[in-house]
Amino acid sequence: MKVRDYYKWLKDNWAQTGLILSLYLSVFSFIFIRENNFPAFLIIIQTPLYMIHESEEYLFPGGFKHFFNYHIFKIEDEKGALDKNFIFFVNVVLIWVILPLFGLLSIKNLSFGLWIPYFSLFAGFAHILLGIKSRKLYNPGLIVSLFLNIPVGIFVIFYFFNNGILNNLFLNFHFLIGFLLNLSLPIAGKIIYERYKKKN
């Protein structure tokens, strides 16, 4: 197989691969990191937890692309504005590259990864806002948000605060990074929506 064939395969199967990776990374983190560096473990574990979040969005039950196009953008076109390429790029770059990279850097210096639990927390709350905006009781990703991303994010942030790693729960640079990264996603969504409308 050529490189582009591997790339095409990954684009088609990244969510399934992410679910397997999440299990591997969780076991690895519990065995090799938790006992040696618990604060770094709390940051690193956010990556596999978010991969599980992606699995609900795109595998079980999946349908986040259709939900967002139909209920948020109000587009009935099967392709829609939120397409396969945008979903792949955002999820793989942000969750598969940036989160684990800064998680590993946090082993040496926690400051590199203190924004990650904030990011995970805000991403979880975003699904609550999606439910309110769409007036739907459920949207893909909501269950993991409510039972993993939000409570674990809150626990980690308070752990860091109570142990003097964070001086303030909200007035800190890490809060701002997590918030702005989440804010960039709807902004990017707005841009692709406007481009879609111009083409159609």
Compute the distance between CA of residue 187 and CA of residue 184 in angstroms, rounded to an integer.
Answer: 5
pLDDT at 79 over 90: no
pLDDT at 194: 92
Confidence band, pLDDT 50/70/90 cuts, at residue 69:
very high
User: 82-123 pLDDT, tens per residue?
Assistant: 999 999 999 999 999 999 999 999 999 999 999 999 999 999
Token look-up 């850097």 returns 105
From 22-26, 112-116, 190-194, the region with the lowest mean pLDDT: 190-194
pLDDT at 22 over 80: yes
Compute the distance between CA of residue 196 and CA of residue 87 in angstroms, rounded to an integer.
Answer: 15
Token look-up 């969780």 returns 26
Two tokens, residue 199: 């083409």
By the 8 A CB rule, do 48 and 25 touch?
yes
pLDDT at 181 over 80: yes
Question: DSSP letter at 140?
Answer: T
User: 138-166 pLDDT, tens per residue?
Assistant: 999 999 999 999 999 999 999 999 999 99
Compute the distance between CA of residue 112 and CA of residue 131 in angstroms, rounded to an integer.
Answer: 32
Closest of 60, 64, 59 to residue 136, by C-alpha: 64
Phi-psi region of 82 (alpha: psi -120 to 50; beta: other; left: phi over 0): beta
**Which residues, at least 6 apart from 132, have a Cβ–Cβ distance to it below 8 Å?**
none
pLDDT at 197: 87
- Region 162-174: mean pLDDT is 96
Compute the distance between CA of residue 26 and CA of residue 182 in angstroms, rounded to an integer.
Answer: 24
pLDDT at 3: 87
- Region 69-73: mean pLDDT is 94
Residue percentage of the chain with pLDDT more than 70: 100
The domain spans of the chain are 3-199
**Which residues, at least 6 apart from 95, have a Cβ–Cβ distance to it below 8 Å?**
18, 47, 50, 51, 54
From 1-10, 138-147, 164-173, the region with the lowest mean pLDDT: 1-10
